[in-house]
Amino acid sequence: MAPRDCMAQLGCWEGYRLRDSWEETRNGQRICIIRLEPKARRRRCCDGCGRGVSSIHDRVERRVRDLPVFDIPVELVVPRLRLACRKCGPKLERLDWLAPYARVTTRLAASVARLCKVMSLRHVAGFYRLAWTTVKRIDLRHLEQELGPVDLSGVTVIAMDEFAIQKGHRYATVIVEPSSKRVLWVGRGRSREEIRPFFKLLGPEGCARLRAAVMDMNTAYDREVRMHCPKAEVVYDLFHVVAKYGREVIDRVRVDEANRLRGDRAARKVVKSSRWLLLRNRENVTREADQVRLDEILAANQALMTVYVLKDDLKMLWAYRHPGYARRFWQEWYERAMASGIAPLCLFAKRLKPYLPGILAHSRWPLGTNLVEGINNRIKVIKRMAYGFRDDHYFFLKIRAAFPGNR
């Protein structure tokens, strides 16, 4: 096989053949240029109506990028044909391998989109020696086509959470279907007004169908859910309540204890440096030396021991599958908290009380809280990969694409 035929066959530029090829150097980079020409006497396909057309209206030469060969970028010189379609008038020829007005071939675009799932835009741009704006445009179009409008027809349970968009206090809200781990909606902000578009999208029927909404208790989400979805139960998740307990009770008691031990420098230092140990779940403290240290700290500090034990017990509340038992357990927990006399603990218990219905609702809607945590971690990675691109639409599409659901 002659080299030219071989290349044309590998190229699969349907309807075209290779006229000639040469090498150029641009900014010190070798580039392989391949000039194509239309094969003669072929019936071509109108991009408007899809009909076969044989007469050509005009042609304009376009340069498009294709996949590299032997790590050398490839640029095609393609005479783009406008056909004289009887129905549509002058119209571009439809090509499987090159979309209208695209700057790269279909297979290069597909390859770029595949890489964009696992690499940052800048890395993909560097890999294919393309402008990052080109890479972003390709990935954006691919995501829009792949995802399409979201299907909310069977949604009965949702989980809602906020995440930080940028450093400082700019937030966005993500809404997930827990059963399928599918991201349904992402929007900027976390206020009632800012999440309202989701309920508009869900529509009156969808709102009436909603049975439960899981969320952090420190948000405005609950009021918005109650307004749109009167039949839906608000459920507060364990993850956020325990995180709040860590901040407002354990942390504060630890600082108080450290202050109390002002006279005993060694003991004070041990308590001050125990933050990590105390906030971690016990099952995640794996090193034996750490376990011993934790036990020693707790044994030596009565107040820390109390709030530590009550944290573990508080988590039990989410393990119940029967609201009646859960309520009784809560009552006991609350009395122990109040009897402790530890101010931050009493305050926490009092503040938690009004949220009890949403906590007990968990026994009817036992949904894993690690989902929220997992999604938030994944969003951090996506944010890093889309670093520098202040484009909400693109960023939110990337989040949706990372959680397409498993239905």
| Binding footprint of Zn ion on the chain (CB under 5 A) | 46, 48-49, 85, 87-88
Which of 85, 234 has the CB closer to Zn ion? 85
Residue 53 C-beta: closest distance to Zn ion, Å: 7
Beta carbon nearer to Zn ion, 47 or 75: 47
Taking the complex as a whole, how short is the minimal distance between the CB of residue 371 and Zn ion, in angstroms?
A: 49
Give the nearest distance from C-beta 29 to Zn ion in angstroms: 40
Report CA torsion sign: 331, 332, 338, 344.
Answer: negative
Report residue 325 CA to chain centroid gap: 37
Is the CB of 48 or the CB of 79 nearer to Zn ion?
A: 48
* Cβ distance to Zn ion smaller for residue 46 or 202: 46
Minimal distance, residue 55 CB to Zn ion, in Å: 12
Q: CB of residue 96 vs Zn ion: minimum separation in angstroms?
A: 17
Among residues 94 and 137, whose Cβ is nearest to Zn ion?
94
What SS3 class is residue 82? strand
Provide the sign of the torsion angle of the four alpha carbons 51, 55, 58, 64, taken in this order: positive
Shortest approach of Zn ion to residue 52 CB, angstroms? 10
Task: Fill in the amino acid letter for 238.
Answer: L
d(CA 361, CA 133) in angstroms, rounded, equals 48
**For residue 142, what are its two tokens?**
């691919």
Strand partners, 214: 159, 235
Closest among 78, 102, 105, 82 to 92, alpha carbons compared? 82
Question: Residue 331 and residue 342: Cα distance in Å, rounded?
Answer: 18
Rg of the chain over Cα atoms, rounded to whole angstroms, equals 30
Pick 56 or 346: Cβ nearer Zn ion? 56
